[in-house]
Structure 1
Amino acid sequence: MAETTVISFVKAYTGYIILGLLLLRFLGNRFRRGLSGIPGPKLASYTALWKLYSVWKGDHHNTEIHLHRKYGPLVRIGPNHVSVGDPKAIPMIYGLNKGFTKTAFYPIQCISWNKQPQMNLFSSRDEQYHRDQKKSVANAYSMTSLLDLEPAVDSCTEIFLSQLHRFADSKTPVDLGMWMQYYAFDVVGEFTFSKKLGFLQEGRDVDDMIKAIEGMLVYASLCGQVPELHPFLLGNPLFPILMPSMETWNQVLQFTLKAVNSRASLQRDGELEEGHKDGGKDMLSRWMAIHEKDPEKLSTRDVIVHLSTNVFAGSDTTAIAMRAILYLLLRHPEKMAKVRDEIDRADREGKLSNFISYRESLTDLPYVGAVIKEAMRLHPSVGLILERHVPKQGVTLCGKHIPGGTVVGINAWVIHHDANVFPDPDSFIPERWIESSEERLKIMEQSYFVFGSGSRTCIGKNISLMEMYKVIPQLLREFDITLHNPKEGWKTRNVWFVQQEGLICDLVPRRR
């Protein structure tokens, strides 16, 4: 009888019980030890739904800038999440051997292959794995190694310019932002496989790779706010078993496998060009050589993962930076004029090759370098905090003790728009990188967070820098570029990477 009464009670009051448990959970979140005194949006302290909604809107980077200007260097953006806006915290959070580890946000961005999630240098939370893998592949990303492949970059530039001349000759507006992404894809293809991916030649999204990457970024940015849902969504371990075709959805992985298989087939048939056999300089050749010498050091799985990560991460971020550089110059004609004058002067003095080399740009075009740096400061490619777990003993950040286990991180958009570091932070002022005092320049450099910091600094940063330093001055030497609809601004959307659209331009060839 008593048992029946209890069951009846539970049935009658289930809704109230659930509501009560949720209320307790929300209150527990709100008054979490060590975090309840950190300011931020009230709702954010109760539930991760505030952060999820903010990211879903696609403008979270600007929201965080506003919050830090309102509340100061520490802002609570989730029940257990704190956004840090003090550049002095960079070496504390991201420095070597500081004990801050990556969070569950990152493994969501790994590939699935052979029915298993395959971690890469970016997604792995295992520091030992990261060290071992980075040691094996890092040399391929050094500027010295990349300069060996500079002629391959020039071959991409040649096709790029040829395609743009078609638009210029027919006086047809061109989506220069999209073509920059095509360019970035083909350059990554040359560095990775000694093979263009076909974007420039065909003038389209080959194998829907751009579309696939966009879908992956949207999923990662949203699910990354509530990563505990990932095992029930695309991270469900039953999915690859129940739907074996699921792995074919990843066009980047499929292209990588196709490229590797093609290279292996040519090698077996003896048709591979001499430079691509032993001692090839592209990443596939370098890493396969390591694999053949010591398969345990770099397995087939490792090679596939590193190659596909290159294609996934190397195109979007670089294209975003190049769009920002060009758009900001087009919006500031006086800066564009200074860039043109510098390029033309160096050209007249015979300092520039037919295809401007990386070294020439670095040495003879200092204002171009300042423009590139300033554009990436104003519009970093990554638009969310780079999350880390506070070590168990806790840490003091900005004068406040943060308990162990708290998720903290820095958003490049926040510190790059800090007036204490970058006076007049919302303005495009390339001169700040040339005319500032040594002391100010040192502070700005230490606060520059475009490629992250510490051992997890973006391993592909040299690829991006080489592309930008070469192609931007080349474009501006070749064409007069104007916005097709100057009264319309571009549109941006933060899906982990802050993507842009609307860079529609008119091109007029310049006389040289």
Structure 2
Amino acid sequence: MPSPPEHTLFYTLTIQALLFTLAVVSIVLIYAWLVYRLGNSSLRHVPGPWRSIFATKPYEDHRIKRKYTSSFYQAKTIYKLPEIEEHVNSRSLAVLDQVRHGGDDVFSLTSRYALDNITFLVFGPNHGTHSVDQTCTERGILEGLKHQQFIGPLRYRCPWLYNHASDLLQRLSSRLRYLSADEEFPAWCQKKFFAALKGAPLNESHSLVRHLWELKEDGAHDGSIDVPYMAAETLDNIDAAEATIAVTATYLICKLTEAPEWQRKIRQELSALPKQDDGCLLFADIDTRVPSLEACLREVYRMHPSSSGKNERVVPLGGRTLAGVFVPEHTVVTSSVLALHYDGEVYSDPDRFLPRRWIDSSEEERKALDAQLIPFGYGGRTCLGKALATMELKLLIAGLYLEYESMATSVTSAESMKQCSTHDAVPRGLKCVVMFRRVKNNATPE
């Protein structure tokens, strides 16, 4: 039997090689698909006691878990404990020490400030961080989390691909270490959590770890509070509190830098307040007797909400009619905070920073302004940390602008400060560098 022509043999071998390659590729793709499905399907997200409040979508499950920590974060709890205000003041003074040397990236400073405050409250004074004034691992983790914001969609939608690509890229360059920040942060948080849990007696300090442990030991929650759930809550509480305070404080300082007249108004009102023996102002006075600061803060809440979250809600049983359209039960609905905050029918000149709107409006107009301002969410999912956030922001800004004025630098521009639609709504340039100059007698610059 004659052998086949050379070109026929080549053609046959090529077809076989192609089929073999396709088979291998198919196997790899099927394997990848299975890994992805098992890692990201509903099997992984079954509602259970280990899921934190933030990660719980069903209304009833969320309502139950909210009860666990709501009392811990209530204003009457946060504001009545002097050690909390004392600690926030100490961290504010640490920030002032950092700005005495001139230009500063306030995005990094406020991020560290927020971390130091929330870890004090979550883990207790013996396990809190001091990242504002101490070089530490936490600084690198915070920086990595900020850089990772821009690749969030890929990380969430294609975790298998992201994990493999991330490992490869980090081997190629140490500058890409931030790609693993979402692994470093939970590992760091877990280590701190167990240190707080197993360290000094929990009853020696007011902390979220102690609060959750006491609920667990009480045994009145049918075992729904266990150690994994406690760890999940501490992680999400720290993540949310750090990110939101950093963004809000950064944009507030940025806007005040662009509007020196409002710096002067705030300083004038602060100067009229009595000081304590340590030179600090009482939060109660700042919160109620400095209307210019309140107006500026509200305007920043409106223009630069600190989260790009979708405010998802699940339609309850029976469905609901929304804007004349019937929406079936179990449907996930969402809304845009920016659309509400930039509604021209409610907020005139919505693209302009106009704190005066919160001062000069009539009572009826003010009700309309307040009704659509939801930086902390709305209803049953209102942010539990609102009271703490208010204290942190007002004490920090009061401490800064009572003694300093801020001026723009060439490093920061409108383009670099453009707010991104990432999860934490960070500024595009991931920094906000301003120049602080001390004022003499709270009136004129030195």
Provide TM-score, normalisation by structure 2. Answer: 0.74
Q: Aligned residue for 1:361?
A: 286
Question: What amino acid sits opposite 2:114 in the alignment?
Answer: A
- Report the more deviating stretch, 453-462 or 332-341: 332-341
Q: Aligned residue for 1:161?
A: 96
Give yes or no for the alignment of 1:309 onto 2:236: yes
Give yes or no for the alignment of 1:329 onto 2:256: yes
Q: Aligned residue for 1:254?
A: 187
Choose from 208, 227, 250 the match for 1:300: 227
Distance in 1 between residues matched to 2:203 and 2:364, nearest whole Å: 48
How far is the alpha carbon of 1:357 from its aligned partner?
2.8
Q: Aligned residue for 2:401?
A: 476
Q: Give the structure with higher Rg (CA).
A: 2
Give yes or no for the alignment of 1:343 onto 2:270: yes
Contact kept, 8 Å, 1:213 with 1:312, in 2: the verdict is no
The 1:281/1:135 distance shift into structure 2, 3 A limit, reads same
Q: Aligned residue for 1:81?
A: none
Per-residue deviation, residues 384-411 of structure 1 (Å, max 9, x unmatched): 5323355576544334455666653221
RMSD of aligned alpha carbons: 3.3
How far is the alpha carbon of 1:412 from its aligned partner?
1.2
Q: Aligned residue for 2:114?
A: 184
Distance in 2 between residues matched to 1:222 and 1:451, nearest whole Å: 27
Q: Aligned residue for 1:509?
A: 438
Show structure 2 runs of 5+ residues with no match.
Answer: 1-38, 165-178, 442-446
- Report the more deviating stretch, 282-291 or 201-210: 201-210
The 1:336/1:442 distance shift into structure 2, 3 A limit, reads same
Per-residue deviation, residues 78-108 of structure 1 (Å, max 9, x unmatched): xxxxxxxxxxxxxxxxxxxxxxxxxxxxx98
- Report the more deviating stretch, 392-401 or 127-136: 392-401
Q: Aligned residue for 1:291?
A: 216
Per-residue deviation, residues 453-509 of structure 1 (Å, max 9, x unmatched): 111111222221110111111110121211122883233322122112342111222
- Report the more deviating stretch, 430-439 or 155-164: 155-164
Distance in 2 between residues matched to 1:321 and 1:432, nearest whole Å: 19
Q: Aligned residue for 1:197?
A: 129
Distance in 1 between residues matched to 2:370 and 2:154, nearest whole Å: 31
Per-residue deviation, residues 138-184 of structure 1 (Å, max 9, x unmatched): 1111122223121121221222222222x24xxxx211221111111
Task: Map 1:334-413; keep pairs closer than 5 Å.
Answer: 334-346=261-273, 354-390=279-315, 395-402=320-327, 407-413=332-338
Task: Map 1:32-431; keep pairs closer than 5 Å.
Answer: 118-147=50-79, 148=81, 149-165=84-100, 167-168=101-102, 173-193=103-123, 194=125, 195-203=127-135, 206=138, 208-214=140-146, 217-218=149-150, 220-221=152-153, 250-266=183-199, 272=200, 277-278=202-203, 280-294=205-219, 296-346=223-273, 354-390=279-315, 395-402=320-327, 407-431=332-356
SS in 2 for 1:138: helix
Per-residue deviation, residues 18-40 of structure 1 (Å, max 9, x unmatched): xxxxxxxxxxxxxxxxxxxxxxx
The 1:289/1:179 distance shift into structure 2, 3 A limit, reads same
Distance in 1 between residues matched to 2:362 and 2:205, nearest whole Å: 45
Contact kept, 8 Å, 2:295 with 2:358, in 1: the verdict is yes
Distance in 1 between residues matched to 2:433 and 2:365, nearest whole Å: 36
Distance in 2 between residues matched to 1:207 and 1:327, nearest whole Å: 22
Contact kept, 8 Å, 1:378 with 1:416, in 2: the verdict is yes
- Report the more deviating stretch, 381-390 or 443-452: 381-390
The 1:343/1:249 distance shift into structure 2, 3 A limit, reads closer
Distance in 1 between residues matched to 2:120 and 2:130, nearest whole Å: 11
Contact kept, 8 Å, 2:403 with 2:439, in 1: the verdict is yes
The 1:200/1:135 distance shift into structure 2, 3 A limit, reads same
Distance in 2 between residues matched to 1:247 and 1:222, nearest whole Å: 13
Q: How many corresponding residue pairs?
A: 373
Question: What amino acid sits opposite 1:161 in the alignment?
Answer: L
Show structure 1 runs of 5+ residues with no match.
Answer: 1-106, 237-245, 267-271
SS in 2 for 1:510: strand
Provide TM-score, normalisation by structure 1. Answer: 0.65
Identity of aligned residues (%): 21
The 1:404/1:322 distance shift into structure 2, 3 A limit, reads same
SS in 1 for 2:353: coil
- Report the more deviating stretch, 247-256 or 379-388: 247-256
How far is the alpha carbon of 1:128 from its aligned partner?
3.1
Distance in 2 between residues matched to 1:352 and 1:427, nearest whole Å: 40
